[in-house]
Amino acid sequence: MAFSTLSRQTSRHLPGAAASRRYKTSFSPSSFGNRLILFGAATEVDPGEVAGTDLRIVKYPHPALRSPNAEITPNELKDGSISKLAKGMFLVMYAAEGVGLAAPQVGSNKRLMVYNESGDSKKWLNEVVMVNPKIVEFSEAKSLDQEGCLSFPDMNGDVERPKWIKVEAQNLKGKLMKKKFTGWEARIFQHEYDHLDGTVYIDRLDEGERANVQPRLDELIGEFGPDGAI
Which residues form the catalytic set? 192
Q: Which residues contact 16 (CB under 8 A, 6 or more apart)?
A: 1, 2, 3, 4, 5, 6, 98, 100, 101, 102, 105, 113, 149, 150, 151, 191, 192, 195
CA distance from start to end of the chain = 20
Q: Amino acid identity of 204?
A: R
CA distance 142 to 68: 27
12: left (phi over 0), alpha (psi -120 to 50) or beta: left
CA distance 149 to 11: 12
Give the alpha-carbon dihedral of 57, 63, 69, 74, to 10 degrees: -60
Q: How distant is the alpha carbon of residue 222 from its chain centre?
A: 23
